[in-house]
């Protein structure tokens, strides 16, 4: 099933209970991996979700499949948050708030990203970034219009800068103070 709830042509709709189980598994996996690291047992995820281990494997046949799904779920939530900021916040400061949120999500779930890197599993995030782009475009336009950031800053520059900062924060295990300092330096460079 696609993110918008539509069933692709030729596929059967997913039962409501299966959708709920999948959502509970992802929520549980996110919490278990954040608390115990991405090497935590899948049994712990099943227990936290309140489902049988077979249910976890029916949705996610391998641990890397589960880790990838957690990452995609996180990206979906970032997209939703960016969309909400576009609807509810009219000022240019929302761009900085969104950047800080991205950094926070990366730090909170760094063990998932590390585990994926260790196993060599690639998560294809291109589609998610394309869905994110329109909201980031609006946030950036508002920040430029408000004189909050440089006039020449483009979304296709901002997203890789932010991604690189997040990757380094994860790889070097930056603490909150250092992440905040790095964001402040980035923001200083982006300001007009």
The predicted structure's pLDDT at residue 163? 86
Structure tokens at 23: 């959502």
Q: Is the dihedral of CA 13, 19, 21, 27 positive or negative?
A: positive
What is the spatial distance between Cα 75 and Cα 129, in angstroms, rounded to a whole number?
8
Cβ atoms within 10 A of the Cβ of 118, count?
10
DSSP state of 51: S
Tens of pLDDT along the chain (192 residues) come to 455 555 556 676 778 888 999 999 999 999 998 888 878 999 999 999 999 999 999 999 999 899 889 989 999 999 999 999 999 988 889 999 999 999 988 887 777 777 777 777 777 778 888 899 999 999 999 999 999 999 999 999 999 999 889 888 888 889 999 999 999 999 999 997
3-state secondary structure 55-124: HHHHHCCCHHHHHHHHHHHHHHHHHHHHHHHHHHCCCCHHHHHHHHHHHHHHHHCHHHHHHHHHHCCCCC
End-to-end Cα, the chain, rounded Å: 43
Nearest residue to 149 via CA among 94, 104, 100: 94
At residue 145, the pLDDT reads 94
Q: What is the pLDDT of residue 2?
A: 52
According to the model, what pLDDT value does residue 8 have? 57
């Amino acid at each position: 099933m696609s993110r918008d709830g539509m069933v692709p042509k030729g596929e059967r709709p997913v039962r409501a209970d299966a959708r709920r189980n999948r959502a509970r598994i992802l929520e549980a996996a996110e919490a278990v991996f954040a608390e115990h690291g991405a090497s935590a047992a899948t049994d712990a995820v099943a227990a936290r979700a309140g489902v049988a281990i077979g249910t976890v494997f029916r949705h996610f046949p391998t641990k890397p499949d589960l880790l990838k799904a957690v990452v995609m779920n996180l990206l979906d939530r970032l997209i939703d948050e960016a969309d909400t900021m576009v609807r509810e916040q009219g000022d240019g400061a929302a761009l900085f708030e969104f950047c800080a949120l991205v950094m926070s999500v990366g730090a909170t779930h760094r063990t998932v990203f590390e585990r994926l890197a260790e196993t060599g599993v690639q998560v294809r995030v291109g589609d998610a970034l394309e869905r994110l782009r329109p909201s980031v475009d609006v946030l950036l336009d508002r920040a430029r219009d408000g004189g909050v950031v440089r006039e020449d800053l483009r979304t296709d520059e901002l997203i890789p800068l932010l991604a690189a900062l997040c990757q380094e924060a994860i790889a070097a295990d930056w603490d909150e103070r250092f992440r905040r300092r790095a964001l402040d330096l980035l923001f200083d460079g982006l300001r007009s």
